[in-house]
Amino acid sequence: MPRVRGKQYQQTTALDLHTGNRESDVATNQPPVTVAMLFQIPAVRSPSTPSPPSSSSSCSSPSPRNPPRRSPRSRMESNAMVWFRKGLRIHDNPALDHARRGGCARLFPVFVLDPRYLEPDPTAFSPGSARSGLNRIRFLLDSLADLDSALRSLGSRLLLLRGEPAPLICRVLKDWNIGKLCFEFDTEPYSLARDKQVSDFASASGIQVFSPVSHTLFNPADIIEKNGGRAPLTYQSFVALAGKPPEPLSVTYHELPPVGDTGEYQLLSVPKIEELGYGDISQEEFSPFRGGESEALRRLKESLKDKEWVAKFEKPKGDPSAFLKPATTLLSPYLKFGCLSSRYFYQCLHDIYKSVGKHTSPPVSLAGQLLWRDFFYTVAFGTPNFDCMRGNKICKQVPWRDDEELLVAWREGQTGYPWIDAIMIQLKKWGWVHHLARHSVACFLTRGDLFIHWEKGRDVFERLLIDSDWAINNGNWLWLSCSSFFYQYYRIYSPISFGKKYDPNGNYIRHFLPVLKDMPNEYIYEPWTAPLSVQKKARCIIGKDYPKPVVDHDIASKECRKKMAEAYASNHSGENVPSGRSSNVLRRKLQNENREGSPPTNSKQRKKH
């Protein structure tokens, strides 16, 4: 049964709908306007029937040094907290907007530095924490600093705490006499569990909880409900169900309520990366992309300036080898952290479409990309064990090979295929590569060449990408490995010719793999075929300065194709033994084989019964 917990967080319709004043620069001081849209959460549990969950035990004992001051109820309701996690922005932020409303005397804007994401892990394969490379950590810190400065310009500030988020939030809710807690609804499993602890505690303590859906265009739970309780598994059916997304909030603030007394809690200023314990780690090249809402809105404006480009955008036509001027907007990391509202972005795009007239449409258009994002969020929300093969009902069960050496070669950009390796180096250095470049390396690792588990590749991307987003990253690995959504496993990206058609001279390779920079054009994609004299002249001996190919693509890809065919034929999906449906498929498949003159099987007997 799909999780539809978010269903209880239903959207209500607009109050005081406002449609004017749409500037690209939402940070300018426009006259405050009314709420365009409001989300409401019904009471999760009546305070009169508190049944604290077992997990809340850690929450219910406030610090002895900060005993909760029991205040009159009216006093409690005058303090509000907005808890930032994603949604690191001021614009289109329903949680923030709700927090400062309703006679809020003191507003506590909080972010908790979670050791799960920030604690240095020296055993990881690259600098960073167990889950995140340094580039994304830095992006987060940028975003927090920008959020803090935006809040300060409104007479507030970001209250930065450090520790395990759920117990810590529960403690400060008590100690700061918070009457109203507002945070953006988050669909990821880790977040759902964390937020349930906090919501349960808050409700049991009589604290009002407001948890709007504002990270995505739509509420995934609504889409799933509309589809009869199951997530739609094709983009088209998703789009048909989704309809038009709600408009963003268009409220501008001159001032926010002041921050209240934070007692003895030590408030951190946004740390530098060195202060998190990464001081002694040197990374040769940092991502050129800086985090934060200001940068997001600047980039958005920049991207949308060329209306013709926006109107003609077609995703599959982008050039994955473009790196001086990437072929896409590069807004994905800002969407991931919520520095940019997807609803605001969507609205800007539609304003342009209206003004230009002729434009591309989903799935290939820019707006279509935002719908893809929502598609994966929806399926991820409605699919238990979405992030693994076992126990995932929509995932093909494939006997992937376990080969640490090949995995490391892929991860470190040492496969001997310059196109693949250059992409992996760009990923490591920049934390970003073009969509089609991701396809190339994901296909190569899984069904195309190495036949290694998509979960292994997923882990590497999750760590290194600054835009790594749980639903989207897993969704795309399922897609590229032909484990779900996409099944044409005989379509394999060539690690040689795919890049060549965009960048025949190999400029991209030369940039990210300088060891190959003097290799002649005709060998740049297949340097192992260069005569030794050429290798010497290029000062790059294959097998010494740059590796020989770890597999022969022609042979490996054929083997992979065969293994995929076998895996598909055995037709196990999820943890099910073949069900009625899949044995049906198997029967038909066998029949087809009979028609083509294969030896008879028992399928005919089966059919008669």
Q: Which stretch binds DNA (CB under 7 A): 21-29, 79-87, 205-213, 488-496?
A: 488-496
212, 196, 216, 214: which is closest to 204 by C-alpha?
Answer: 196
Helix, strand, or coil (residue 243) = coil
Contacts of 589 (CB under 8 A, 6+ apart): 569
The CA distance from 496 to 419, in Å, is 7
Least separation in angstroms between CB 501 and DNA = 7
Task: Select the residue interacting with DNA from 5, 75, 149, 235 (CB under 7 A).
Answer: 235
Q: Please check if 468 is assigned to a binding site.
A: yes
The CA distance from 380 to 475, in Å, is 7
**Residue 181 or residue 398: which is nearer to DNA going by CB?**
398
Give, in order, the Cα–Cα distances in Å from 319 to each of 463, 466, 508, 518.
24, 20, 11, 23
The CA distance from 543 to 524, in Å, is 15
Least separation in angstroms between CB 305 and DNA = 23
**Residue 135 or residue 484: which is nearer to DNA going by CB?**
484
Instruction: Record the tokens describing residue 11, joined without a space.
Output: 């959207």
420 touching DNA, by CB under 7 A: no
Instruction: To the nearest 10°, report the CA torsion of 18, 22, 27, 29.
Output: -70
| Chain center to CA of 206 | 33
The CA distance from 76 to 474, in Å, is 42
The CA distance from 244 to 448, in Å, is 38
Q: Which stretch binds DNA (CB under 7 A): 96-104, 134-142, 188-196, 489-497?
A: 489-497
Q: Where in 279-428 does DSSP place strands (E)?
A: none
The CA distance from 401 to 114, in Å, is 34
487 touching DNA, by CB under 7 A: yes
154 touching DNA, by CB under 7 A: no
568 touching DNA, by CB under 7 A: yes
Q: Please check if 97 is assigned to a binding site.
A: no
Task: Select the residue interacting with DNA from 17, 193, 240, 555 (CB under 7 A).
Answer: 240
Least separation in angstroms between CB 108 and DNA = 39
Task: Select the residue interacting with DNA from 74, 488, 602, 605 (CB under 7 A).
Answer: 488
Residue 256 has phi, psi (to 5 degrees) of -115, 160
Q: For 540-555, b where at least 16 C-beta lie within 10 A, e where not — what string?
A: bebeeebbebbbebee
**Is the dihedral angle over the CA atoms 478, 483, 486, 492 positive or is it negative?**
positive
Task: Select the residue interacting with DNA from 278, 337, 461, 498 (CB under 7 A).
Answer: 498
Q: Please check if 330 is assigned to a binding site.
A: yes
The CA distance from 101 to 93, in Å, is 13
**Is the dihedral angle over the CA atoms 332, 467, 111, 382 positive or is it negative?**
positive
Instruction: To the nearest 10°, report the CA torsion of 15, 17, 22, 28.
Output: -40
**Residue 135 or residue 369: which is nearer to DNA going by CB?**
369
Please report, as residue ranges, which positions from 285 to 304 form the binding site for DNA (by CB under 7 A): none
Q: Please check if 445 is assigned to a binding site.
A: no
Q: Please check if 139 is assigned to a binding site.
A: no
Residue 294 has phi, psi (to 5 degrees) of -60, -45
Q: Please check if 371 is assigned to a binding site.
A: yes
Q: Please check if 372 is assigned to a binding site.
A: yes
| Chain center to CA of 466 | 9
Least separation in angstroms between CB 339 and DNA = 21
**Residue 235 or residue 286: which is nearer to DNA going by CB?**
235
**Residue 178 or residue 433: which is nearer to DNA going by CB?**
433
Q: For residue 429, count other CB atoms closer than 10 A to its CB.
A: 18
Q: Please check if 159 is assigned to a binding site.
A: no
Q: Please check if 467 is assigned to a binding site.
A: yes
How many residues sit in the footprint of DNA (CB under 7 A)?
37
502 touching DNA, by CB under 7 A: no
Pure H helices in 91-186 = 94-100, 115-118, 134-152, 165-175
492 touching DNA, by CB under 7 A: yes
233 touching DNA, by CB under 7 A: yes
**Residue 176 or residue 432: which is nearer to DNA going by CB?**
432
555 touching DNA, by CB under 7 A: no
Angle at Cα 447 formed by Cα 386 and Cα 363, nearest 5°? Answer: 60
Least separation in angstroms between CB 104 and DNA = 41
Amino acid type, 164: E
Least separation in angstroms between CB 498 and DNA = 3
248 touching DNA, by CB under 7 A: no
**Residue 268 or residue 585: which is nearer to DNA going by CB?**
585
Please report, as residue ranges, which positions from 313 to 372 form the binding site for DNA (by CB under 7 A): 315-316, 363-364, 368-369, 372
Task: Select the residue interacting with DNA from 21, 490, 536, 600 (CB under 7 A).
Answer: 490
Task: Select the residue interacting with DNA from 201, 323, 344, 493 (CB under 7 A).
Answer: 493
* Pair type for strands 208-210 and 106-113: unpaired
Q: Please check if 387 is assigned to a binding site.
A: no
Q: Which stretch binds DNA (CB under 7 A): 49-57, 497-505, 517-525, 541-549?
A: 497-505
Residues contributing to the site for DNA (CB under 7 A): 232-237, 240, 315-316, 363-364, 368-369, 372, 394, 435-436, 439, 479, 486-494, 496-498, 501, 565, 568, 571, 585, 589
Q: Which residues are known binding-site members for FAD?
A: 328-332, 369-376, 467-469
Task: Please give the annotated binding residues, written as ranges.
Answer: 328-332, 369-376, 467-469
